[in-house]
Amino acid sequence: MSRSPEPTRKIGRLLVLAVLALVAACTPASQPQGRPNVLLVTIDTQRADHLGCYGYKAAVTPTLDGLAARGVRFEFAVGHAPLTAPSHASILTGLTPLHHGIRDNGAYVLPQGVRTVAEDFQKAGYRTAAFVSGFPLKRRFGFDRGFDLYDDNLPRGKDARRTAYVERTADRTTDAALHWLASAAAPGAGAAPFFLWVHYFDPHAPYEAPAEYMGGVASPYDGETRFVDAQLARLLKSVDGAGKPAVILVTADHGESLGEHGEDTHGIFLYDATIRVPFLLVAPGLSPRVVDRPVARGIDVLPTLVDLAGLPARAVEGRSLRRAAAGERLADEPSYAESLHPQLQYGWAPLHAWRTAKYKVIEAPRAELYDLEADPGEAHDRSAQDPSRVAAMRKELLRAMATTTPDASQAADAETREKLGALGYVGTAGGSAPTPTGRDPKDGIGLVTRLGRNGMTVARTEPEKAIRELTALLAEDPGMLVVLRTRAVAYAAAGRPADAVRDLRELEKRGQLSSEDAVVLGDNLRLSGHPKEAAQVLERTIRDNPKFAQPLLSLAAVDLQERNVDAAAAAYARAREMEPDNPEALRGLADVALIRGDAEQAGKLYARILELEPTDAGALTKLGVVRMRSGHRDEAIGLLQRAVEREPKNGEALLYLAGALASSGRPAEAVPFFERALAAGPRTSMALNGLGLTRLELGDRPGAAAAFRESLKLDPDQPDVAGKLKELGRP
Ligand SMILES: [Zn+2]
């Protein structure tokens, strides 16, 4: 007897539905729980061959070596550009610069529609966070896409050679990441896994690791690596203890030439000194091994992480290296690299390279060919001996370059579009490109070195010296835009804003005024007495860069100079909307609150700056003043003491501390701070009167009289002080 088919079908259907329901229950919401945590670490400017695990004898890199020992080390790995922003964009998107559209530092925004690895993990239910340490990765360039938290807070820094807010040291970046791991990530059993990206910037020049890391290393550069290695140990300990297995990938965006091929740092050439990077991988189920081939590429990071975490694959230019990491022999894939920096910054020919495991061709006015196996240092150009190989590889390179997606230009800002257009990248279609024209970077590297050593590094500290060298460089090659940019900075530092304006207007005339330049132009127009023109330039820059806070801060400075407090407040508020923790926006808003007499609001804002930057002397001083006014004397004195400890020659902090001590019945302690404040300058009548009154309180009549006399010399119109002095003159 056969059963009726009906109920069977029904049961079958119910079963299918039940299974589907189960599957549905396991997908998006609850599925991530079983997945591993993922940690991506990028060490800026880190050469592979300066790590112990890559055979460097002088290395002090126990953490990275330990990671290599317990994981998979790719002997050869390469980035796609010797520059932070383009190379990181490749790591984060799985695309070469041809397709993600970021071609240089500081000027390009990741186009809409280019998806990041963080978006993949976020969509899969991961908690995503990034902690970056260098200016080229600020959120306004689009790197924050897909991150729940994108921490790009960079401290102001004390290095007079450099602009403020450009770097965060590895200890502080690690602190921030550990804080997130301990709080937001709260790795309970049922919690969703995390995707965490930590970027360290320390091996980038200048090489100045904390003193205790400089002993026992072969060079200051190695000291920076050692410092990062020690901080990475803290990070790994926390990730390993997070209650879930973790996929860990450590790599770099590019290396550092360290003098090879005549290049001091990175950014111009495409030799392995800057293109080869470390690539260390640890993941559940992977046994320790060294993978000799294939060469790992920056574009392979995304598909590899996605694969190891069990997320669905999607098409990018790179491929997953999971099977290679598991011991399977994968065929090598060629790799593209570029540097448009020589063209965009120097007006020279750009460089493009095509690389297989064995050969590299570099497209330049004089193309080069290297046998990487026989000549890893790329000292012997073989292009003359092997022209057919050059032709064949060049053909592949040009084919890849012809596929540039319009995406790269379409979504970029106006300035980027202009730059891409000038390079012929907009609407590039098929066919072969002509040999690049302009100076071959090989012939110009000496100028780059002079610019770096005698221009950029001293533009702010020895501006007149820098101006001389930069002027000489411009005489040799007037097309070097970066030299004009640098000279404008030097002129500004030398207190010659009108000269700075002239150089920046020249950049503008050539259609090469970047938004960063526009801010410098605005500042120098203001300083040279042209507030209206300054406001015009800044307002235009604000319109063209909806995520760039700096022009708003500079516009607020113009408003304050024009005594338009309301407009300044509005500009600061808009800057803070873009970057809630921008310290200068917070400071501006706090100062405005103080001007308006809203001490409570000012206090809150200064306190927030100090949460971000506990040693900010300006905020310590101002919060001290606010606390003093509200009668919290001890707290005020404590804050002011910290400000003075941090900046012993800060005249403002010294004066307020002196005043706070004097008005708290501690005149004997106050006097030396008045004296130090006057020594630090400026010598104001207010400071002199404070000193005079305090000396008087201590019975030092001659001392008091001297201070009052000097005060009256500065400002004769002080009847009270004149009266006091008269009193003192009587026996
Ligand atoms: Zn970099």
- Residue 581 Cα, ligand 1 centroid: separation in angstroms? 24
Q: β-strands 351-355, 335-339: how paired?
A: antiparallel
pLDDT at 426 over 50: no
pLDDT at 170 over 60: yes
- Overall average pLDDT of the 599-617 stretch: 93
Q: Is 160 exposed, middle or buried (0-12, 13-18, 19+ CB in 10 A)?
A: exposed
- Overall average pLDDT of the 150-165 stretch: 80
- Residue 385 Cα, ligand 1 centroid: separation in angstroms? 34
- Residue 124 Cα, ligand 1 centroid: separation in angstroms? 29
- Cα–Cα distance measured from residue 85 to residue 91, given in angstroms and rounded to the nearest whole number: 10
pLDDT at 353 over 70: yes
Q: How confident is the model at residue 158 (pLDDT cuts 50, 70, 90)?
A: confident
- Overall average pLDDT of the 285-293 stretch: 96
- Residue 418 Cα, ligand 1 centroid: separation in angstroms? 24
- Residue 83 Cα, ligand 1 centroid: separation in angstroms? 5
- Residue 458 Cα, ligand 1 centroid: separation in angstroms? 21
**How high is the pLDDT of residue 268?**
97
- Residue 49 Cα, ligand 1 centroid: separation in angstroms? 17
- Residue 44 Cα, ligand 1 centroid: separation in angstroms? 4
- Residue 305 Cα, ligand 1 centroid: separation in angstroms? 21
- Residue 330 Cα, ligand 1 centroid: separation in angstroms? 29
Mean confidence (pLDDT) of the chain: 90
- Residue 74 Cα, ligand 1 centroid: separation in angstroms? 20
- Cα–Cα distance measured from residue 254 to residue 105, given in angstroms and rounded to the nearest whole number: 13
Q: How confident is the model at residue 306 (pLDDT cuts 50, 70, 90)?
A: very high
Please report, as a single letter, which amino acid is at residue 318.
Answer: G
Structure-model confidence comparison of residues 22 and 314, the more confident one: 314
- Residue 578 Cα, ligand 1 centroid: separation in angstroms? 25
DSSP secondary structure string for all residues of 28-55 = TTTGGGGSPEEEEEEETT--GGGSGGGT
| Residue 703, helix vs strand vs coil | helix
Report pTM: 0.85
- Residue 199 Cα, ligand 1 centroid: separation in angstroms? 10
- Residue 653 Cα, ligand 1 centroid: separation in angstroms? 37
- Overall average pLDDT of the 105-128 stretch: 93
**How high is the pLDDT of residue 326?**
97
- Residue 605 Cα, ligand 1 centroid: separation in angstroms? 33
- Residue 452 Cα, ligand 1 centroid: separation in angstroms? 16
Q: How confident is the model at residue 613 (pLDDT cuts 50, 70, 90)?
A: confident
- Residue 148 Cα, ligand 1 centroid: separation in angstroms? 24
- Residue 339 Cα, ligand 1 centroid: separation in angstroms? 13
Residue 719's alpha-carbon distances to 141, 179, 456, 713, in angstroms, are 58, 57, 52, 13
Q: How confident is the model at residue 189 (pLDDT cuts 50, 70, 90)?
A: very low
Structure-model confidence comparison of residues 162 and 670, the more confident one: 670
- Residue 89 Cα, ligand 1 centroid: separation in angstroms? 11
pLDDT at 1 over 70: no
- Residue 444 Cα, ligand 1 centroid: separation in angstroms? 22
- Residue 254 Cα, ligand 1 centroid: separation in angstroms? 6
- Overall average pLDDT of the 497-524 stretch: 95
What are the structure tokens assigned to 431, written together? 């066919």
Strands ordered across the beta sheet of 335-339: 335-339, 351-355, 359-363, 368-371
- Cα–Cα distance measured from residue 621 to residue 488, given in angstroms and rounded to the nearest whole number: 32
Q: Of 66-80, 286-300, 335-349, 427-441, which gets the smallest average pLDDT?
A: 427-441
Q: Which residue has the tokens 């975490």?
A: 309
pLDDT at 421 over 60: no
- Residue 201 Cα, ligand 1 centroid: separation in angstroms? 7
Most confident of 178-192, 246-260, 575-589: 246-260
Asked if 96 contacts 297 with a C-beta cutoff of 8 angstroms, the reply is no
pLDDT at 179 over 50: yes
- Residue 27 Cα, ligand 1 centroid: separation in angstroms? 38
- Residue 136 Cα, ligand 1 centroid: separation in angstroms? 8
pLDDT at 5 over 50: no
Q: How confident is the model at residue 202 (pLDDT cuts 50, 70, 90)?
A: very high
Asked if 690 contacts 662 with a C-beta cutoff of 8 angstroms, the reply is yes
- Residue 707 Cα, ligand 1 centroid: separation in angstroms? 54
Q: Which residue has the tokens 């598909």?
A: 303
pLDDT at 129 over 50: yes
What are the structure tokens assigned to 149, written together? 């938290």
CA 213 to chain centre: 23
Q: How confident is the model at residue 161 (pLDDT cuts 50, 70, 90)?
A: confident
Which contiguous run of DSSP H or E holds residue 371?
A: strand 368-371
Q: Which residue has the tokens 């370059």?
A: 401
**Residue 652 burial (CB count, 10 A):** 18
- Residue 105 Cα, ligand 1 centroid: separation in angstroms? 9
Asked if the peptide bond before residue 350 counts as cis, ω within 30 degrees of 0, the response is: no
- Overall average pLDDT of the 359-369 stretch: 97
Asked if the peptide bond before residue 155 counts as cis, ω within 30 degrees of 0, the response is: no
- Residue 602 Cα, ligand 1 centroid: separation in angstroms? 37
Structure-model confidence comparison of residues 337 and 511, the more confident one: 337
Which of 271-283 are b and which e, b meaning 16 or more Cβ less than 10 Å from the residue's Cβ?
A: bbbbbbbbbbbbb
The angle that helices 463-476 and 481-493 make with each other, rounded to 10 degrees, is 160
What are the structure tokens assigned to 413, written together? 């800002």
pLDDT over 90 for what percent of the chain?
80
Q: Of 1-15, 200-214, 399-413, which gets the smallest average pLDDT?
A: 1-15
- Residue 420 Cα, ligand 1 centroid: separation in angstroms? 22
- Residue 298 Cα, ligand 1 centroid: separation in angstroms? 13
- Cα–Cα distance measured from residue 393 to residue 372, given in angstroms and rounded to the nearest whole number: 14
**How high is the pLDDT of residue 427?**
37
- Residue 311 Cα, ligand 1 centroid: separation in angstroms? 28
**How high is the pLDDT of residue 573?**
97
Q: What is the pLDDT of residues 621-663, one digit of tens each?
A: 999 999 999 999 999 999 999 999 999 999 999 999 999 999 9
* 353 secondary structure, DSSP code: E
**How high is the pLDDT of residue 264?**
96
**How high is the pLDDT of residue 532?**
97
Angle among Cα 200, 586, 614 to the nearest 5 degrees reads 55
pLDDT at 187 over 90: no
**How high is the pLDDT of residue 188?**
54
Asked if 333 contacts 294 with a C-beta cutoff of 8 angstroms, the reply is yes
- Residue 480 Cα, ligand 1 centroid: separation in angstroms? 22
- Residue 673 Cα, ligand 1 centroid: separation in angstroms? 44
- Residue 269 Cα, ligand 1 centroid: separation in angstroms? 14
Q: In terms of Cα–Cα distance, which of 241, 170, 247 is closest to 201?
A: 170
What are the structure tokens assigned to 223, written together? 């000291």
- Cα–Cα distance measured from residue 562 to residue 668, given in angstroms and rounded to the nearest whole number: 41
